[in-house]
Structure 1
Amino acid sequence: MCSSMSRLCRRGRPLGWCLAGFFCYFWRAVSAIPCPSFPGKLFPRRYHMKSRRILSILAAFASWSAVQAQEELLHYSFNDPNLQTTTAADAGPDGHGLTMYSADGEPAALQTGPGVSGKEGDHAFNNSGATGMGRNGQGGWAETAIQGEGTIWQRGLTSFTVTGWFQPTESQPSDTARIVYIQPSLEGNALTVWAVGGGRLELRIDKQKDGGQSEPVFGRKPGEWNFFAVTFDATKGSDNVRYYAGTESSSVREVGEGTLAIERWTPARGGSRTPIFVIGSGGREIQRPFQGHMDEIRFFGAEAGSDGAFDQEKLEEIRSEALAR
């Protein structure tokens, strides 16, 4: 057990595991050392009782620390070697595979190359066949149902990060176009990352529009891949939404901020409807497609604390990682 805790610590697990591992070795050592005050005897019983209490506290702290840490919940690379497939695998922990659909609602092979890295075998989600960008268009999408019961989606998140890449076909959307959309359960919270007029990004939770917008981040160079990231941190009373952008050749920079009045984002709260994660449009019910290619869509979150809202340095790592694939 002690060696297992030690290995977890060396692998960068939360501080609680390191402390628990240290105390495990300490416990094993003192249990076999005679007490100087009592020759020939082990430590008195009261020392063992205190040690057990401390170990319990440290173990609880380890569990708490693990809860604080962010998780990668969804990750879509669209790199299936079979370009005729109508599905896309999820590299996240729960395997929420996507099904891709054409504008008429039929499963469609919308995975094509090249992806953002430009390397052989790297593909992307292709929605360039949409008739327009935003309100006046009809186009494809990719979606998956999220089983929320007993999961982080039902317990809720205090912080999260959405990242991805897009290569718009049209320079600007008409009104608004959906990049990422989470349709919630009947009593849950919706989430949308919008592309809005002027080449800006906007995060909305439910129908709140106070999350601000980014500065213009796309539409200047046709055919250019744009990296985007949106973070939310409910532990902050203001400026809890931040926008970031980069390109294939430029590093991540912060491009805007805003404030949303919500203490916890919970998409799977109550009701019988299963939340649906959608890329590239609003899905079957509401279109507003994003016209172009999309790649490396990822979603991270934390149940408690601010670890789910990544800083600029971490986002630059994610941008660079996609280009190296």
Structure 2
Amino acid sequence: MEDTLSALIFLAIPAIFCLFRLLAENLCEDTSQSDVSDNARVVRQTDVLLITRATIVRLHPRHLSPAENRNTSSPPTHMKSRAQTLLHKTTIQRPVTTLTALAGFLSLTLLALNTAATSHAQALLYEFNPVSTSTAATSTGTNTSATASLKNLSGTAANLYDADGSGVSGLPGDRAINVSAGLLQLAHSASSTALDGLTSFTLAGWYKTNSGLAGGNRLFDYTSGTNGIILFGDGSTGAATSQLSLQVNGTNIAISDGSYTANNGEWVFFAVSVNLTAGNKTATFYQGTATSLATSITATINTTNLNNTSSITAPASAALLNIGNSGGFNRAVNGSLDNMAVFQTALTEAEVRAFQIRGAPQLVPEPATNALALATAAATLASLAALRRRHHGRR
């Protein structure tokens, strides 16, 4: 729905501009074609008022020649011509200029609103490129100092980077990490800054496996005791159902359906958008691929637990954010991860898709769509040029 609205806004901008020009023409057409001589009369010698159907043009004596000032019983022919010119400027040029400016302002406003829909920044974002060091990953989100460590199952620093071009886009320089035998681990201070006390948030990213998400496989794990948050593969109905489960402060909030399947090692996009604000509590799962835009999917919501949860309670001071595995190194996703992000707000579907496209630029509109937009713009410009010629022709 949001994508359709964005497309309509884009195509409506030139149409709105053209509409304002047409409106200006129609509003002013009768006045510009009126016979000034039939409606004009001299009120007094020093102050001539030309009264038309819609506009009054005031001519002071300085606009008249000496002969005209001496004889004002009827407006001279060339005075009528001058009045006609002033009348045209007043009734045609000014409204057209004003309405055109309004159309331009409205167009810019629509563009700003459309752009603002996807402007939320990530508190944490691990894109895994460029590689600054083989055993760490730097966040390119707002918390740029949140460098996380790559570790093997023994907790030792390790190089988990896949080959160049292994990321979602498949482009040179785009990499992913393989967490089958390790994890990405963020220190407590940076983890706390990103997650503690949030009343709304979104967890998102990409995974690639050959066997789906087995029960307990961790995508995000920031817990200690009963506090914190976990997003993991749910095995309640099978060992590899490719469902996602969300826990906040030790309680189950929501479980998705089985849409998060692995298609022979293809990339799968996931996101869960959560709002814990009183009166507006929601939890929505989104799923997509490298060739299809994300859509919301069916989920089972534990309404009681959701209503009883107001924020992410801070875990104990030793808690770390683990991505791709648990802190005990025994809940690894059997595959690769890319573009793992934490947002400090509940994203809409349009915003989720915007983030998805950031990692998978191949999802941008096809060339045919761009060609249609260019053709529409060209047709609009041609119409405006025709309108301008018509205005000049009446002068």
Question: Per the shorter chain, which TM-score range?
Answer: 0.5 to 0.7
Following superposition of structure 1 onto structure 2, how do residues 1-325 of structure 1 map, counting pairs within 5 Å? 72-81=122-131, 85-94=134-143, 95-113=145-163, 114-127=166-179, 130=180, 139-147=181-189, 151=193, 153-154=195-196, 156-173=197-214, 175-184=215-224, 189-196=227-234, 197-219=240-262, 221-235=263-277, 240-257=282-299, 258=301, 259=303, 260=306, 261-267=308-314, 271=316, 273-283=317-327, 285-301=328-344, 308-324=345-361
Q: State the distance in 1 between where 2:276 and 2:283 align.
A: 9
Match of 1:26 in 2: none
Q: Percent identity, aligned pairs only?
A: 25
Q: RCO higher in 1 or 2 (8 Å CA, sep ≥ 6)?
A: 1
Q: Does the CA contact (< 8 Å) of 2:212 and 2:260 recur in 1?
A: no
- 2:231·2:244 contact (CA, 8 Å) conserved in 1? yes
SS in 2 for 1:157: coil
Is residue 153–residue 329 contact of structure 2 (8 Å, CA) maintained in 1? no
Deviations 1:291-325 (A, max 9, x none): 10100001011xxxxxx111111111111111129
Q: Distance in 2 between matches of 1:223 and 1:124?
A: 13
What stretches of structure 2 of length at least 5 have no aligned partner?
Answer: 1-118, 235-239, 363-395
Q: Do the aligned partners of 2:227 and 2:312 also contact (CA within 8 Å) in 1? A: yes
Query: Is the Cα–Cα contact under 8 Å of residues 244 and 256 in structure 1 kept in the other structure?
Result: no
Structure 1 pair 217/247, CA: closer, same or farther in 2 (3 Å)?
same
AA aligned opposite 2:186: T
Deviation at 1:85, TM superposition (A): 0.9
CA separation of 1:322/1:150 partners in 2, compared to 1, >3 Å: closer, same or farther?
closer
SS of match in other structure, 1:147:
helix
Give 1:287 deviation, angstroms.
1.8
Report if aligned partners of 1:166, 1:292 keep a CA contact under 8 Å in 2.
yes
Q: Distance in 1 between matches of 2:320 and 2:277?
A: 26
Pairwise CA distance, 1:106:
1.2
Instruction: Determine the C-alpha separation between the residues in 1 that align with 2:267 and 2:146.
Output: 25
Shift of 1:122: 0.3
2 CA distance for matches of 1:290 and 1:152? Answer: 22
> CA, structure 1 residues 162+153, in 2 after alignment: closer, same or farther (shift >3 Å)?
closer
1:287–1:318 CA distance, 2 compared to 1 (3 A):
same
**For the residues of structure 2 that align with 1:148 and 1:296, how far apart are their CA atoms?**
18
**Contact kept in structure 2, 1:171 and 1:222, CA below 8 Å:** no
Normalising by the residue count of structure 1, what TM-score does the alignment of the two structures yield?
0.65
Which of 1 and 2 has greater Rg?
Answer: 2
Deviations 1:137-184 (A, max 9, x none): xx3111011317995644x111000110000132351x3211111134
Partners of 2:193 and 2:242 in 1: how far apart?
35
SS at match of 2:286: strand
Q: CA deviation at 1:243?
A: 0.5
Letter in 2 for 1:320: I
Instruction: Report how many residues are paired.
Output: 231
**Aligned residue identity for 1:323:** A
Q: Deviations over 1:224-279 (max 9, x none)?
A: 100000111012557621100000111110013424230111335xx5x2431111
Cα distance in structure 2, aligned partners of 1:317 and 1:89 = 22
Alignment partner of 1:91: what SS?
A: coil
- Please list the CA deviations of residues 47-102 of structure 1 after superposition, one character each: whole Å capped at 9, or x if unmatched: xxxxxxxxxxxxxxxxxxxxxx96521110111346x6100011123321110111
Q: Please give the per-residue CA displacement for 1:163-221, whole angstroms capped at 9, x wherever unaligned.
A: 10000132351x3211111134x7x83211112241111111132124232332212x1
TM-score normalised by L of structure 2: 0.54
- Cα distance in structure 1, aligned partners of 2:258 and 2:353: 18
Give the 3-state SS of the residue equivalent to 2:231 in structure 1: strand
2-structure distance, mates of 1:286, 1:223: 23
| Secondary structure in structure 1 of the residue aligned to 2:353 | helix
Gaps of 5+ in 1: 1-68, 131-138, 302-307
Which is helix-richer, 1 or 2? 2
